[in-house]
Amino acid sequence: MAGTGPLTVVGQTGELKRLVDWTASAWFDIQAMHQDWRFLRTTASWATVQAQATYTTAQCGIPAGTFSAWVRDSFRNYPTATGQSGEIFMPYLPYTYWRNQYQFGAYRTTYSRPIEMTVTPDDGIGLGPVPLSGYTILGDYFSAPVLLSADADVPTLPAKHNPMLIVYHAMESYGAFEAAPEVYQRGLTEFTKLLRRLEADQLPEYTLGGALC
């Protein structure tokens, strides 16, 4: 029947496989265009361990292969037993400063409530001072781009945005492959229009910088 598509994206060959791959690649490219899309932002939460200063992304509760970057100004902690009424913010400290401050001499074994954090070279989190147990840490991060591969996979594009954004981006690959400039140009024109709407809605707002002195 005209206008119907394949019943599955798995195991396709030839032209249909190219269409499936172009569509999957288009969605991956859109996610990867900006690391700080709001729709890729989520929160990690984990408990401190007595005398453990650093935590891998897995120990922070982030599933393998889903991490992209930390939101460094989003961290806070609270005593797990008493709850969020005792919550405090945790400023970011550059890794070298954190290491020189909290991973030196007696500070390595001086355990207290953490009040600062850093991002370690392996994208984990370092806490300072070295924490006692009994605190819950919260921090936001951006998820890594995801490649569509299964029939049940659904793009996380916000509902108020037109999913044709993905189709038009895939049309650019189709037009280039088929040497069809009119198809490529239409895809590019419509994709650019919808992308600008997504960027205006889902990227951080521009703010003025503070005084230099």
Percent above pLDDT 70 for the chain: 95
Tokens of 150: 């299964």
Percent above pLDDT 90 for the chain: 91
Residue pair 32/123 in contact by the 8 Å Cβ criterion = no
Q: What is the mean pLDDT of the segment spanning 32-36?
A: 96
| pLDDT for 1 beyond 50 | no
User: Domain coordinates of the chain in residue numbers?
Assistant: 14-36+148-202, 38-143
Give the pLDDT score at 6.
80
Give the pLDDT score at 211.
65
Give the pLDDT score at 119.
98
The span from the CA of 80 to the CA of 211, in Å, is 38
The span from the CA of 7 to the CA of 121, in Å, is 45
Residue pair 118/92 in contact by the 8 Å Cβ criterion = yes
Which is higher by pLDDT, 114 or 205? 114
